[in-house]
Amino acid sequence: MGKQRLRVLAFARKEVTPNKRSLQRHDIAQGLVFLGFQDIIDPSGEEAIAAVNACQSALC
């Protein structure tokens, strides 16, 4: 997938009590339910470099 410039995101969920106002890393270290994967195209190729250069030159 890396050679195809694809990146993979994993999604999971965990139920918490309604009065929980914030989460720390240890809160989600276990008990997650895996939902699935999603792959996305990584635009970090040559065309992305050219697009960033075009945007930067337009600002000058």
**What are the tens digits of pLDDT across the range 5-59?**
778 899 999 998 899 889 898 988 899 999 999 988 876 667 778 888 889 888 7
Quote the pLDDT of residue 33. Answer: 96
24-39 per-residue burial string, b: 16 or more CB within 10 A, e: under 16:
eeeeeeeeeeeeeeee
Q: Dihedrals φ, ψ of 16, to 5°?
A: -130, 165
At 12 the pLDDT is 96
Predicted pLDDT at 13: 95
Q: What is the C-alpha to C-alpha distance for residues 37 and 2, in angstroms, rounded to an integer?
A: 15
pTM of the model: 0.54
pLDDT of 43 reads 65
- Output helix, strand, coil percentages for the chain, rounded to the nearest 5: 30, 30, 40
Report pLDDT for 1: 59
Count the residues in the chain.
60
